[in-house]
A and B are shown apart, each in its own frame.
Chain A
Amino acid sequence: MVIEASEEALSGTVGGVKRPRLFRREFKYHLLVAPAVLLSAMVVLVPGILTAVAAFTDWNGISLNPNWIGFANFTDILSDPVFQTALEDNLKWALMFATIPVAVALAAAFLLLHRPKTRTLFQVVFLIPYVLAAITNAILWLNIIYNPVTGLWGYLETHGIVGASPLSDVNSALYAVAAVDMWHFWGFLTVIYLAALRQTPPDQLEAAVVEGANGRQLFRHVYLPNLGPTLMLMFVMIMIFSFLSFDYIYLLTGGGPAHASEVLSTYAYTFAFSSYEFGKAAAVGIIMSVFGLVCAVFYVFLSRRELAA
């Protein structure tokens, strides 16, 4: 395959004479890649471009003749205190997810690494919350844990063990939601880290042991350097998901109480489907995409070596 690719690249540079033949040879491959590109263009690319246009209009999502209003949507949003809350909440979310589940998952992965017999069982158990739907997880936590009347929290509250439900408190709502999402997410990270640790070259381990390395030195000088690329990729992934995060927040609090757990995605969604300000929703979507694009640059950068393969 590699030979063929370089041959094509070569004949491409030869110029006009070979081009028709090359095009014919490539044509069938263009046909093969077409369904994926067309589907993505119809669902993601073209509507995405329309959003970029709509962000500069007062479109309400219904009319066919929206008015151009320049940067008004953006200036309105940037001066909206709710936008600032949402942005801060996204940053807090990113910080929480880049630390707590990562630490727990790393510890669990290292413990599982040296327990080959029970490894599969623990992996399956840890992954169960991850394979359940956001709706299922959010509604079960809402009802049986956080509910102040019928849930565990209410039961503990009536016995004076805990205070009011953390979901209804502006100071704790975001963290209460994040707790559910992290409960669902950390098992996934564990499985990823464990798989990466298991790829540590055995000869490096043996060499280190022969040299008399202890557990901590093995971790520092053998496991960690090999885990590095995976840790980095997961960090970028967590950053991406943190700025796209929607499901658990919208299901558990809807961004409330009093916008305390608002994030950019819920902020945009509410503009579109509660107040029918599609232009503003589009503007928030554009702002979110800028964060996504920054992450995308890192993502492409991290994968460059693999892509060249």
Chain B
Amino acid sequence: MIHRSTPLRRAGGYFVLILLALLALFPLALVAINSVKTSAEVEMNPLSFPTHFYLQNFQVAWDYGHFGTGFVNSLVLTATTVLVVLFCASLAGYVLAGKKIRAWPVVTVYFMVAVTIPIQLFLFPLYFVFARLNLVGNVIAVGFVIAAINLPLSIFLMRTFFLKIPAEIEEAAVVDGAGIVQLLRSVVLPIVSPGLLTVGVIVGLFAWNEYLITSTFLQTQGSYTATLGYLSMNGTFSTDQGAMMAGAMILIVPIVVIFISVQRYFVEGFVSGSVKG
């Protein structure tokens, strides 16, 4: 671009980038080729290409990994978390961006500190309360917990989106006699809808991938998420590597497809909270 780069240096740069891409993809490629091999073939040589497609692995993995209920539970969990986060974080982000309450610095610093709080600080009493209230195994209740954990990040992301709204737009709506609900619903929230989508996408990803909270609170087969079902398969089924790799493929493919199709929002979500200018 700006500085002069020789073709040789440019090729060297591409060489490094391709090497890094191979590093990222190599373990996943191993999963892919071994997911259609018999366990004996995997054991013989995990690097060999499949000679035929042993698709039975996928049937075995689907049944033993309880993916049928797992995907339903993961969807319920993720939907709960995303809806709760979007509702709470957009309202709070609006108030904090506009400094509309005098206590805004207190609330802001509280949520900033909450980013650094280890889950182990509140997990044990929370588990106790969940057990007393018979909520262990309740996917929706766990969705609320994961929402609470993702709130700080989401509030700050929403806040930056609200900050971009010119003050005149809001003032004009107020002059026109819009109440607070009307102002939010028909003026402010539509403007920040890209922000809602971005926050929804990354919080959805975090909820779908969550491990510590879900594995603690969802301990019965009926309440397993897709990833927990796969984890349970590892304990009882790790001798059949073909099926294990097929199970991994069942988890990898949907996420990669969704990620690639809306990667712009993922990247925006990752970046907007982390880049300082």
Q: Are A and B physically bound partners?
A: yes
Closest chain A CB from B160 CB (angstroms): 8
How far does the alpha carbon of A187 sit from the alpha carbon of B20 in the complex, in Å? 9
How far does the alpha carbon of A141 sit from the alpha carbon of B260 in the complex, in Å? 23
**A8 partner residues in chain B, CB cutoff 8 A:** 102
In the complex, B112 has a CB within 8 A of chain A: yes
Given A26-B101, A150-B43, check contact A265 B274 (CB 8 Å). no
- The answer on a CB contact under 8 Å between B260 and A124 is yes
Q: Which residue on B lies nearest to A12, using beta carbons?
A: B102
Q: Which residue on B lies nearest to A121, using beta carbons?
A: B21
Closest chain B CB from A211 CB (angstroms): 12
Given A26-B100, A32-B91, A244-B118, check contact A51 B124 (CB 8 Å). yes
- Looking at A144, A187, A264, A272, which has the most chain B CB atoms within 10 Å of its CB? A144
How far does the alpha carbon of A123 sit from the alpha carbon of B231 in the complex, in Å? 29
- The answer on a CB contact under 8 Å between B241 and A143 is yes
- The answer on a CB contact under 8 Å between A125 and B21 is yes
Residue total for A at the interface (Cβ-Cβ under 8 A): 121
- The answer on a CB contact under 8 Å between A33 and B47 is no
In the complex, B244 has a CB within 8 A of chain A: yes
In the complex, A230 has a CB within 8 A of chain B: yes
How far does the alpha carbon of A36 sit from the alpha carbon of B157 in the complex, in Å? 14
- The answer on a CB contact under 8 Å between A114 and B259 is no
Given A195-B275, A246-B212, A289-B121, check contact A36 B127 (CB 8 Å). no
Given A196-B276, A299-B112, A303-B112, check contact A124 B124 (CB 8 Å). no
Q: Which residue on B lies nearest to A50, using beta carbons?
A: B125
Q: Which residue on A lies nearest to B234, using beta carbons?
A: A139
Interchain CB contact (< 8 A) of B230 among A135, A151, A240, A246: A135
Interchain CB contact (< 8 A) of A229 among B42, B209, B244, B276: B276
Given A122-B21, A149-B43, A289-B121, check contact A107 B16 (CB 8 Å). yes
Query: How would residues 29 to 57 of chain A score, 1 for a CB under 8 Å from any chain B CB and 0 otherwise?
Result: 11011011101101111111011001000
Interchain CB contact (< 8 A) of B24 among A126, A140, A145: A126
In the complex, A96 has a CB within 8 A of chain B: no
- The answer on a CB contact under 8 Å between B84 and A155 is no
**B238 partner residues in chain A, CB cutoff 8 A:** 143, 147
- The answer on a CB contact under 8 Å between A36 and B241 is no
In the complex, A199 has a CB within 8 A of chain B: yes
- The answer on a CB contact under 8 Å between A244 and B119 is yes
**B110 partner residues in chain A, CB cutoff 8 A:** 37, 40
Closest chain A CB from B87 CB (angstroms): 6
In the complex, A296 has a CB within 8 A of chain B: yes
How far does the alpha carbon of A296 sit from the alpha carbon of B274 in the complex, in Å? 15
- Looking at A44, A107, A114, which has the most chain B CB atoms within 10 Å of its CB? A44
Interchain CB contact (< 8 A) of B122 among A3, A28, A51, A218: A51
Contact surface of A with B, Cβ cutoff 8 Å = 1-5, 8-9, 12, 26, 28-30, 32-33, 35-37, 39-40, 42-48, 50-51, 54, 61, 104, 107-108, 111-116, 118, 120, 122-129, 131-136, 139-145, 147, 149-152, 155, 183, 187-188, 191-192, 195-196, 199, 205-206, 209, 214-215, 218, 226, 229-230, 232-234, 237, 240, 243-244, 246-247, 250-251, 264-265, 268-269, 272-273, 278, 281-282, 284-286, 288-289, 292-293, 295-296, 299-300, 302-303, 306-307, 309
19 A–B contacts from the bound complex (CB under 8 Å)? A4-B100, A26-B102, A32-B180, A33-B95, A35-B87, A36-B155, A39-B147, A47-B124, A104-B20, A108-B20, A127-B266, A127-B270, A128-B28, A132-B252, A140-B31, A150-B39, A191-B271, A195-B271, A265-B120
* Chain A to chain B: the 5 pairs with minimum beta-carbon distance, closest first: A43-B148, A229-B276, A36-B92, A47-B122, A133-B209
Using A147-B241, A218-B3, A289-B118 as known contacts, list a sample of 15 further A-B pairs with CB atoms less than 8 Å apart, ordered by residue number in A.
A26-B102, A47-B129, A51-B125, A114-B1, A123-B263, A128-B259, A132-B209, A136-B227, A139-B230, A139-B244, A147-B238, A229-B276, A234-B274, A296-B116, A307-B105
Contact surface of B with A, Cβ cutoff 8 Å = 1-3, 5, 13-14, 16-17, 20-21, 23-25, 27-28, 30-31, 34, 39, 42-43, 45-47, 84, 87-89, 91-92, 94-102, 105, 107-129, 144-145, 147-149, 151-152, 155, 163, 167, 170, 180, 205, 208-209, 211-212, 216, 227-228, 230-231, 234, 238, 241, 244-245, 248, 251-252, 255-256, 259-260, 263, 266-267, 270-271, 274-277
